[in-house]
Amino acid sequence: MREQHYDWVIIGSGFGGSVSAHRLTQKGYKVLVIEKGRRFKPEDFPKTNWDLKRWMWNPSLGLKGIFKMSFLKHMTVLHGVGVGGGSLVYANTLPTPKSAFFQSGSWAGLADWETELGPHYQTAKRMLGATPNPVMTKGDHVMKEIAKDIGREEHFHPTEVAVFFGEPNKKVHDPYFDGEGPDRVGCNFCGACMTGCRIGAKNTLDKNYLYLAEKHGAEVVPETEVTAVRPRDGGGYRIETKPTFTKGPSRVVNADRVIFAGGVMGTMPLLLKMKEDPNGLPNLSERVGDFVRSNSEALFGVVSPEKHINFSKGVAITSILHTDDHSHIEPVRYGAGSGFFRTLLAPHAPGPTVLSRIWGALKAFSRQPIRWLRALFVKDLAKQSQVLLYMRTIEGTLRMRLGRDLRTGFRRGLVTEVDDPSQAPSAFMEEATELAEKFADKVNGVPTTLMTETLLGVPSTAHILGGACMGASAETGVIDANHEVFNYRGLYVIDGSAISANPGVNPSLTITTLAERAMSLIPEKRAAFPAKTAGREPAAVMEGSPAE
C-alpha cells in the first residue's frame, strides 16, 4: 500500500462502502477499500455467542469478531465490524421507511427524496436478494395474537429479508447474478444470523456488492485502520493507516477522492479528529457530530421457562407488527446455545431514577417469584427467550464529540452531549413496555432488558445514525445532497452517518439505496467489464424469488 495512488479510497466495507466499491469499479475507477476488521469465511463465525473471541470485537482484549458494544453516556450502541461491515451481524431485514421520513430532518427540501430514491430502493432490494420470510415461528404466532388483540391484525406481516431460501443446506450455483456471484446454500432456519451465517444463506455484502467489486478489480485491505485523511498539495488526499492488530509502521496511500463509510462509530471519531487537526480537515462544518439519532428503539428479552417452547428457529427477524403510523415491533432471535446476554440481563423496570427502577424490579419479582426463578435458570436462553425490538419514528437526537475516555481515564474517545435532556433518546416507552408484557403473559414468561437500561436508564440501539447529515450549506449540514463534504471537494460520507432523519425502521436498505443514488451521479471513467456483470440480476431475482 505504501504511496500507491488510487482514483478512490473507501474507508469501511459496510452497506455504503461495498455499494460504492462495486459501482465505482463498474465505472472503470481504480478503487481501494480499507477495512479495520477481519475477513470471514462461513466456518470462521462462532457456533454460539459464548465464543467471544470469534463473536465480539475488542482487539485490546484479544476479541476479533464481528460484534461490538460501545457504552456511551446517553446510549449503548450495538454495531458490526469486518469485511462486509454490519451485514455480517445484522438481522437481514430490509424495510422501506414511510413517507414522513423523506420529508423531515435536515435533508427535507433538498430533493424529492421519496420519488428520486424509489428506483434505487428497487435496485438495492435486487442486489441484496430481498424476499419475504416464508416461515411462521412460535414468536410470530404470538405476535399475530397480539395484533388481533389490539385490533391491528391487518398490520401484521412477514418481513422482507436478505436470505437465500433454496433447499435447506443444499449448495447451488450463484442464483442471483447469472453465475457471476458465489455459490449459495439454502437457509436451514437455525436462527444464527446475528452471530454470522455458517451456512452461506445470508446475503451479506461479501456475497454481492463487495464480491462483484473485488472480482472486477477493487482491492480490499482488511485488518487496517485509517488514522488520518489530509489534503494533498495539487489536489486529492493522503490517507494514513496502521495495522489493526499488530504494531507496525504507518502506511500511506493517495487518492483523488475519498469516501468515509465506516458507519457512525467509525466515521465520527475520524472526522472529529481531522477537524481538530490543522493539517487535517479543519474546515469541516461545525455540524460534524450533530443530529446523531437512533430509531428510538426499545429492546426486550422475554424469557419463558416453558421447556416445550423454542424461539430460536427461523431467520433473525421473521415478522413485523405496525402498532400505529409511527411505531412497530418485531420478534428477533439468536440461534440455539447463544445465551451470552444472560450475563447482561435485568428485569425490565421503567422509572425516572435508579432507585425507582430497582424498586420496580423487586416488585416484579415479588409478584411472580416462582416464574422469575424458573426463568433465571433456563438451560438454553436462546431457545427460551424472544428478543422484541420496538421502533418508532419520533426524533430524539444528541451530539457526538471527542472527549476523555472514561474507561481508560486518558485516551480520547467519543462522548455524547445533549442540550435538552427531554430530547435525548429514551430507554422507556409506555407502549413498548405494554407490548412486551402482553407477549410475556402469552408465553408464561418475564420481560427483561439490558442492565444498562434498568440500572442507568441508558437506552440501547442497533441502529446508530447521523452525525454527518445533509444540509443546504455548511451551516446546516456536513454534506450536500450528493453526499459530498462541504468545503472539501472529492470527500464523501456514504454510510449511516449521512442518514438525516429517523427512518423508524431497520436502516440497512436505506443506506444501500442512498449509496446507489450517490454512485449513480458519478460519471464513468471507462467501461470496466461486460454489461452482464454490471449489477444486472436475473428475472427471477428481480421478481423477488432467487432462481436455482
Catalytic machinery residues: 463
Q: How far is it, in rounded angstroms, from Cα 366 to Cα 316?
A: 33
Q: How far is it, in rounded angstroms, from Cα 490 to Cα 275?
A: 16
Q: Would you state the cell numbers that stand for residue 427, as one nine-digit string?
A: 430507554
Q: How far is it, in rounded angstroms, from Cα 190 to Cα 199?
A: 9
Q: Would you state the cell numbers that stand for residue 36, as one nine-digit string?
A: 479495520
Exposure on the CB side of residue 288, measured as CA atoms within 13 A:
23
CB 54 within 8 A of CB 65: yes
Q: How far is it, in rounded angstroms, from Cα 144 to Cα 543?
A: 27
Q: The dihedral of CA 26, 28, 29, 30: what is its sign?
A: positive
- Give every CB contact of residue 447 below 8 A, 6+ residues apart in sequence: 300, 301, 302, 347, 348, 433, 436, 437, 439, 440
With CA atoms as reference, report the closest residue to 278 among 222, 325, 230: 230
CB 478 within 8 A of CB 485: yes
CA dihedral 156, 160, 161, 163 (to 10 degrees): 110
Alpha helices in 291-346 (DSSP H): none
Residue with grid cell 454490519, as numbered in its chain: 86
CB 67 within 8 A of CB 259: no
CB 177 within 8 A of CB 533: yes
